[in-house]
């Protein structure tokens, strides 16, 4: 799945900023991306500390750009720009203090066009990656929220399987309007991975078989989504077995255009989403790529703190390819 992305990125030479420049996983991935000519990495942190960490883990980064947020020659310009963006909420002194942190500094590099995209979260929390993005990059025109999805990928004897699942990491309990937007954004992301989206909004009920507030929410979200005249089939509320299995779909939802063949799954809340993708990952043997943040004005993505260097490498490619 990565070959077309890599081929395109080698032609584009996009710049990706890593907020945790001394982390061994970041150093290994940055070294690989640089030497394979896929991306131009920028490592944030004290250059001497980055160099020492690189020597210790035997991943040389001599040829890779390093920027120290504490000694950046264009810091005053960055502070002024950030204060303008945060007008009425942060003055220049507060901005100066925030920019000592790599998550804010790296996000401003993207905002000012010094980098094309950002990947963080190897040691930062998801909130610490998303908060600066919301405050500085902000949402894309037409988007009201930031959401996330995971791409689930598995190789089989019959061929490769790929699905998109959202929102599994950002919105705790989205309302019906937010669920409809999450469905649109997840379908949009799916297309970037050559998935022709067929969207199922999931529930413990299939088209009225169950009752409850959460069922009503998903049903209303599906109605709002259809009313938006989207260019992909969508249906809900659907139980997962009805959405996924053609055999079950014939019994539970025979008239549905999505049931039995869905490949984009929208969960009713973060509990279901987080549990769902991890079950697929651990029991189904899928690779899970994400969380891929959706709805932002620029590609900024979050890593799991339990990630390894290969996952950093792959998420870097995904992040840059989403520009």
CATH number at residue 60: 3.40.50.10950
* Domain shared by 134 and 151, yes or no: no
With a CB cutoff of 8 Å and minimum separation 6, the contacts of 32 are 309, 313
* Domain shared by 29 and 67, yes or no: yes
* Domain shared by 202 and 239, yes or no: yes
Q: For residue 307, what pLDDT is reported? A: 86
Q: How many domains does the chain have?
A: 2
Q: For residue 122, what pLDDT is reported? A: 85
C-alpha span between 57 and 96 (Å, rounded): 32
Closest CA to 2 of 150, 148, 153: 153
* Domain shared by 129 and 206, yes or no: no
State the average pLDDT for the chain: 94
* Domain shared by 78 and 156, yes or no: no
* Domain shared by 10 and 64, yes or no: yes
Domain around 126: 3-138+296-321
Residue 121 region by backbone torsions, left for phi larger than 0, else alpha for psi between -120 and 50, else beta: left
* Domain shared by 171 and 248, yes or no: yes
Q: For residue 147, what pLDDT is reported? A: 95
* Domain shared by 28 and 62, yes or no: yes
Residue ranges in the chain whose pLDDT is less than 50: none
Give the chain's end-to-end CA distance (angstroms, integer).
17
**Residue 154 half-sphere exposure, CB side, CA atoms within 13 Å?**
15
Q: For residue 314, what pLDDT is reported? A: 95
* Domain shared by 17 and 72, yes or no: yes
Supply the DSSP symbol for 90: -
Task: Give, for 77, the enclosing helix (H) or strand (E).
Answer: helix 75-85
* Domain shared by 167 and 97, yes or no: no
pLDDT digits over 194-239, tens only?
Answer: 999 999 999 999 999 999 999 999 999 999 999 999 999 999 999 9
CB 137 within 8 A of CB 86: no
CATH of the domain at 216: 3.40.50.10750
CB 131 within 8 A of CB 281: no
Stated pTM of the model: 0.90
* Domain shared by 155 and 95, yes or no: no
Closest CA to 241 of 200, 180, 300, 184: 200
* Domain shared by 206 and 316, yes or no: no
């Amino acid at each position: 799945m990565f070959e077309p992305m890599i081929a395109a990125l080698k032609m584009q030479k996009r710049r990706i900023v890593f907020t945790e420049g001394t982390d061994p996983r970041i150093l290994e991935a940055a070294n690989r991306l640089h030497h394979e000519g896929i991306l131009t990495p920028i490592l944030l942190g004290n250059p001497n500390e980055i160099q020492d960490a690189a020597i210790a883990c035997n991943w040389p980064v001599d040829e890779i750009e390093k920027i120290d947020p504490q000694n950046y020659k264009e810091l005053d310009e960055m502070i002024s720009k950030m204060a303008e963006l945060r007008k009425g909420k942060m003055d220049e002194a507060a901005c100066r203090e925030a920019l000592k942190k790599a998550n804010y500094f790296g996000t401003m590099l993207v905002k000012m066009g010094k980098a094309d995209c950002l990947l963080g979260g190897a040691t930062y929390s998801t909130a610490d990656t998303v908060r600066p993005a919301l405050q500085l990059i902000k949402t894309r025109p037409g988007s009201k929220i930031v959401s996330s999805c995971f791409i689930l990928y598995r190789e089989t004897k019959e061929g490769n399987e790929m699905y998109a699942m959202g929102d599994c990491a950002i919105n705790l309990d989205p309302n019906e309007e937010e669920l409809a937007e999450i469905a649109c954004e997840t379908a949009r992301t799916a297309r970037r991975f050559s998935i022709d989206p067929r969207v199922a909004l999931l529930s413990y009920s299939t088209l009225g078989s169950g009752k409850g507030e959460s069922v009503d929410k998903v049903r209303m979200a599906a109605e709002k989504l259809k009313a938006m005249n989207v260019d992909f089939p969508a249906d809900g509320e659907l139980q997962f077995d009805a959405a996924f299995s053609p055999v079950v779909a014939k019994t539970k939802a025979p008239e549905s255009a999505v049931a039995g063949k869905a490949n984009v799954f929208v969960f009713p809340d973060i509990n279901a989403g987080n549990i769902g993708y991890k079950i697929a990952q651990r029991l189904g043997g899928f690779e899970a790529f994400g969380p891929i943040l959706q709805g932002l004005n620029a590609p900024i993505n979050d890593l799991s703190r339990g990630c390894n260097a290969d996952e950093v490498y792959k998420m870097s490619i995904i992040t840059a390819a989403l520009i």
